[in-house]
Structure 1
């Protein structure tokens, strides 16, 4: 079912997303370039909202941050937006400030989790965060790419998935997206209200 996402998303997504097939050397060079200055954002990040996988369960995987703190996805009991990203992925880097703004806008109603798929983990993620003034995003690491294997078609990044309080997928976006736009905030808010109504029915 995961591979069927290629049939759902238009070929134009390739312009708004990165894949991990380039290997670690490419990750290193892009990470070093991104550490000094993020690339200028395009007029739009044309990520596509997909509901074809609604109901998919959030896997009970465990991740760490550079300080050794642990995140167990199976223990989350509130709505969460899981973003799979990497420092070498230009659309990922561009949308990170928007995700930070979304996390602030919906603080208390939604947890935004950015989980790095960098194979070098904290070695590249810590400098990336140190060079930026994120207020709400945290440095969760998935160097084994467990989430990308579960949710990304062929390593396509970024992938961002909205889960309800019961850990059921509501929607996902493949490719970069303007997460702090009025449209995106309204879409996420409405989806959470809808999911709450269904869960409480």
Structure 2
């Protein structure tokens, strides 16, 4: 049987070009998964956060029903902000401690509403192994967030701040923090164990059970 493409050089060139385009598409797809922000290189470094994510899964519900346990934990140790005293800090400074990172602003009504619950959570569960790290992202200085926290009598949360909003930009590059509030549970390895987009009642029994489960996942078994 004759080969029609052998007698039609133009048709043969079209097929080769189509095949090349398909190969290029596959290459791009693979790079999208394994390159850039694919985060494949964190599989080993984020094992603790992965264990935490699996541990908290049964506790997702009620007041924390929108919490999303990480399936491929992201290394968030380079996220940066200012401490209460104005010094520079990154999540790497909290190595060895489980952190509930909350991003908020004074103009964000849901953020303002959930702040007392975060303060209570820090009061009741904060310590050597766990801390609520609330980072304000109001543009400019700290005058407005300081006044707000004073107004609602927050006593247990330190005012962390990022007036440049770089922390938001960095998270959006990873498909995180599409809006405020955003709250991320970060393991002692600096990796994401799970994320909540939107507000939650963080002083609720469901939230405390979720945090407790995460902490238990990293304790030595004996």
TM-score (norm. length: structure 2): 0.63
Conserved in 1, the CA contact under 8 Å of 2:134 and 2:159? yes
Structure 1: stretches of 5+ with no match in the other structure: 2-43
Which of 101, 106, 110 is the aligned partner of 2:120? Answer: 101
1:87 to 101, 106, 126: 106
How many residue pairs match? The answer is: 158
Equivalent position to 2:153, from 108, 114, 133? 133
Q: CA deviation at 1:54?
A: 4.6
Give 1:118 shift.
Answer: 0.8
Task: Give ranges in structure 2 of 5+ residues lacking alignment.
Answer: 1-32, 34-61
Structure number with greater Rg is 2
Match of 1:192, SS state, is helix
Q: Do 1:60 and 1:73's aligned partners in 2 also have CA atoms closer than 8 Å?
A: yes
Task: Kindly report which structure 2 residues correspond to 1:1-201, keeping only aligned pairs within 5 A, or say none.
Answer: 48-52=66-70, 54-65=72-83, 67-77=85-95, 78-108=97-127, 109-152=129-172, 153=176, 155-194=178-217, 196=218
**Cα displacement string for residues 84-110 of structure 1 (whole angstroms, at most 9, x for unaligned residues):** 000000000000000011111112231
Q: Quickly say closer, same or farther: Cα 1:128–1:61, change in 2 above 3 A.
A: same
Q: Distance in 1 between matches of 2:119 and 2:158?
A: 10
SS at match of 2:196: strand
CA RMSD, Structure 1 to Structure 2 (Å): 2.7
